[in-house]
Structure 1
Amino acid sequence: MEGFLWPKYKDLRRMTAGFMGMAVAIILFGWIIGVLGCCWDRGLMQYVAGLLFLMGGTFCIISLCTCVAGINFELSRYPRYLYGLPDDISHGYGWSMFCAWGGLGLTLISGFFCTLAPSVQPVPRTNCPKSRPENGTVC
């Protein structure tokens, strides 16, 4: 009954890999949509790319949290001497976690700017004179 309530370490590793795979796929698709939106100057495509970046960032957050939970679960489960760590040294995550959180922040910032970009672009002006508006007439 213990495994029913709490995930095991293998389950946490599978969850991390699954969410990281989804995040990479969504961010790559967002890059493709974003580049096409910039080349064709389509505001809707840039907006969708931003939403994809934000969704990919959400999956990155989930995968990072499950990765940290798996590491903490594994280190708290077994005695310290099995890992060869002396009593006066604690474990750390190092540069890989710093780079992962930094990449997550950049993904979320790019998602924010991509969703903001269509609303700050100037509206093209037409040479149509503003006369009295009539129903159904278009310049």
Structure 2
Amino acid sequence: LSGPVWPKIWYLRRMTAGFVSMAVSIIIFGWVIGVLGCCQQHDLMQYVAGLLFLMGGTCCIISLCTCVAGINFELSRYPRYLYGLPEDISHGYGWSMFCAWGGLGLTLLAGFLCTLAPSLSSPLARTTVHKSRHENGTV
């Protein structure tokens, strides 16, 4: 690894922030589409909401990986005494990273369920409306 280190860390942080913002916006848009699809009983909207959740989950995976890569790169590059860590203590990610991975799992689960919901709905819920003979154009 040659050259200045800060631009490399800065790029990883920018990538993390960019993918987190994309994930949040896609998931919020998926929530809106999903709620509208459930209220209006549109199968296509529920399917699109599921696909949006899966896309948001993909952006979450990328952002978590770039975040972990940035942390590991920064901690492996500099001496341990700069961070105030004694030699016998290793670094960890804590509850925030656990919650991030848990939220990612729930987002992907919601995506799979919303994508499968139109195909799993009961045939009784889909009522067919029969037109009268006059509306069909026959007299």
* 2:105 is the counterpart of 1:105: yes
Identity within the alignment, %: 78
User: Shift in Å at residue 106 of structure 1?
Assistant: 0.0
Q: Return the offset for 1:53.
A: 0.1
What is the TM-score of this pair, normalised by structure 2?
0.86
Which stretches of structure 1, 4 residues or more, deviate above 2 A after TM superposition? 123-128
Alpha-carbon distance, 1:113 to partner: 0.1
- Cα separation, partners in 2 of 1:91 and 1:127, compared to 1, 3 Å: closer
Partner of residue 85, structure 1:
85
* Structure 1 position 127, deviation (Å): 7.5
Q: Which runs of 5 or more structure 2 residues have no equivalent in the other structure?
A: 131-136
The alpha-carbon distance between structure 1 residues 39 and 126, as it changes in their structure 2 partners (threshold 3 A), is: closer
Give the TM-score normalised by structure 1: 0.86
- How far residue 126 of structure 1 moved from its aligned partner, in angstroms, is 4.0
Alignment-derived partner of residue 8 in structure 1 = 8
| Number of residue equivalences | 127
* C-alpha RMSD over aligned residues: 2.0
Mark the runs of 5 or more structure 1 residues left unpaired by the alignment. Answer: 129-136
